[in-house]
Amino acid sequence: MVTKKVVIWGASGHSRVVADILRLRSDYEIAGFLDDVNSQAQGRPFCGSRILGGREELSKLVESGVRWLIFGFGACGPRLRLASVVRHHGLMLLTATHPNAVIASDVAIGEGTVIAAGAVINTGARLGDNVIVNTGASVDHDCTIGDAAHICPGVHLAGGVRVDASSWVGIGTAVTAGVTIGPGAIIGAGSLVIDDIPPNVVAFGSPATVRRSVREDDREIAG
């Protein structure tokens, strides 16, 4: 069997989750990790491999025979923006699905998407590029998840929900049928979303209400 050499962009908790998913498959070989946040980390051991450096290593990786990359961080905005950087360097975005996820046969899954352990994705759902459906989350029938959205652990989306690009749905949130969450929105942990949420706002509570516009310090965490 030919193995795919893949680099993981990110060196934090989520990147270890991604690495674990890849190591459960015999057809992937992790070439290392990239870290754009800590410039002093180059060469350090990390998660059974090592940190190769930052984005300046992309061209070298291609020259060395690496053809695949997957993002290993949860922030939505950077995953949305950096996809074009990855493709510009000639790398392909790898999709990773945990073997203990349950996915209907007709689900459409975009490039670079990560589906973690215990996730359930039902019939008719469509996931864009670089989406995260995290541990134990459920995406019910006919949902649409935009590019680089993050469906956090334990989130439950009812049927026909739309989560637009680069939106963050916080841990343990429930979203009722047919609701749309606008692009760049952040939904706080444990919320109950029963009405549409506009773009680029922070909303939380039960029921979730808009509290303010997204600020730059929010984006450092979620987007």
Residue 48 domain-assigned (yes or no):
yes
- Residue among 170, 189, 184 nearest 213 (CA): 184
DSSP state of 173: -
The model's pTM:
0.95
- Report the SS3 class of residue 36: coil
Same domain, 111 and 216: yes
DSSP, res 22: H
Is 89 a member of any domain? no
What is the predicted pLDDT for the residue at 4? 86
pLDDT at 39: 81
Q: Does some domain include residue 84?
A: no
In terms of domains, do 101 and 204 share one?
Answer: yes
Residues of the chain falling short of pLDDT 50: 223
As given in the structure block, the two tokens for residue 55 are 């984005």
Tokens 């706080």 identify what position? Answer: 188
User: Is 178 part of a structural domain of the chain?
Assistant: yes
Residues 114 and 217 in one domain: yes
Q: Could you give the residue numbers annotated as active site?
A: 141
Same domain? 45 vs 107: no
**123 and 202 co-located in one domain:** yes
Number of independent structural domains in the chain: 2
Asked if the structure places residue 191 within a domain, the reply is yes
**Quick one: CA dihedral 13, 18, 21, 23, positive or negative?**
negative
Position 205 scores a pLDDT of 97
pLDDT tens digit sequence for 103-157: 999 999 999 999 999 999 999 999 999 999 999 999 999 999 999 999 999 999 9
pLDDT at 223: 45
Which domain, by its residues, includes 54? 4-73
Q: Which two tokens stand for residue 140?
A: 């019910």
Flag whether 21 is in a domain.
yes
Structure token digits, residue 51: 């940190």
Same domain, 118 and 214: yes
